[in-house]
């Protein structure tokens, strides 16, 4: 174990404690997040861990943004946006699994890093489009029927929210490219974010609204879609 490893593990522990004390995560969620962080780090290095941090910070800020307005229209998250262990696994669980895969297969680490970026691009796109789309969206419609629908319901999107989601994917792609080098992967990660977000909305309208699957499962499949887009394209 190197000095860098020790510093990273200490920072993950500190981050978990601070997130719990600041009521950003439940106790179990903070522990789960730390474990996910370790898994991502051992397989994808500091680059993967940075993507996790950017997603967590960006998602937290988006959830807290205009909380009063969201509460007024009944779309604010319960517990004031405090994340549970299930939500952590839904958004970072597949990335953690990829990290473990990269740890076991060091020769595939570059591919693993891009797939992790794709999964977080999808997660970021979904979170920002949902949380900020409810605030800045003008017209809301069902992604399956394309008919006007109620803001905040599963599978309901807006142009503004979708655009914000793309910006979120661009942010993840940029962070990845700064740390791993600029290449065509930048565009693949953005496409992964958009595709994952689109899949999330379709699953929400088709299955979650009918109570066939939960929101956590939808979010997990969203990150899976983002990662698989990168895998297929590369």
Is residue 226 within 8 A of residue 195, CB to CB? The reply is: yes
Per-residue pLDDT tens digits for 76-135 = 565 556 789 999 999 999 999 999 999 999 899 999 999 999 999 999 999 999 999 988
Q: What is the rounded distance in angstroms from the CA atom of residue 227 to the CA atom of residue 44?
A: 14
Q: What pLDDT score does 122 carry?
A: 98
Task: Indicate whether 32 pLDDT > 70.
Answer: yes
Q: What pLDDT score does 72 carry?
A: 65
Q: What pLDDT score does 78 carry?
A: 56
Q: What is the mean pLDDT of residues 186-201?
A: 97
- The more confident residue out of 71 and 27 is 27
Three-state SS for 83?
strand
pLDDT confidence tier of residue 1, bands split at 50, 70 and 90 = confident
Q: Is the dihedral of CA 26, 30, 32, 33 positive or negative?
A: positive
25 DSSP β-pair partners:
83
DSSP, res 205: I
Q: What pLDDT score does 178 carry?
A: 95
Q: What pLDDT score does 82 carry?
A: 79
Q: What is the pTM for the complete model shown?
A: 0.92
Mean predicted lDDT score pLDDT of the chain: 92
Q: What pLDDT score does 110 carry?
A: 92
State which residues form the domain around 38. Answer: 3-233
Number of domains within the chain: 1
Q: What pLDDT score does 77 carry?
A: 60
């Amino acid at each position: 174990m190197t000095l860098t490893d020790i510093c990273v593990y200490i920072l993950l522990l500190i981050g978990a404690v601070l997130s719990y004390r600041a009521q950003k995560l439940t106790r179990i969620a903070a522990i789960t997040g730390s474990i996910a962080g370790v898994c991502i780090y051992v397989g994808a290095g500091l680059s993967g861990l940075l993507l996790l941090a950017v997603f967590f910070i960006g998602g937290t800020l988006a959830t807290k943004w205009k909380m009063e307005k969201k509460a007024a229209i009944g779309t604010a998250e319960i517990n004031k946006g405090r994340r549970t262990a299930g939500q952590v696994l839904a958004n970072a669980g597949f990335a953690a699994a990829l990290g473990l895969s990269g740890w076991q297969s060091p020769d595939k680490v570059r591919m693993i890093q891009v797939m992790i970026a794709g999964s977080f691009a999808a997660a970021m796109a979904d979170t920002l489009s949902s949380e900020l789309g409810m605030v800045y969206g003008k017209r809301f419609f069902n992604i399956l029927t394309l008919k006007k629908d109620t803001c905040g319901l599963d599978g309901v999107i807006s142009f503004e929210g979708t655009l914000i989601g793309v910006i979120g994917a661009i942010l993840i792609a940029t962070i990845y490219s700064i740390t791993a080098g600029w290449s065509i992967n930048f565009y693949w990660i953005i496409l992964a974010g958009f595709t994952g977000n689109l899949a999330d909305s379709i699953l929400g309208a088709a299955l979650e609204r009918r109570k066939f699957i939960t929101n956590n499962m939808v979010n997990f499949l969203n990150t899976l879609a983002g990662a698989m887009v990168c895998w297929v394209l590369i």
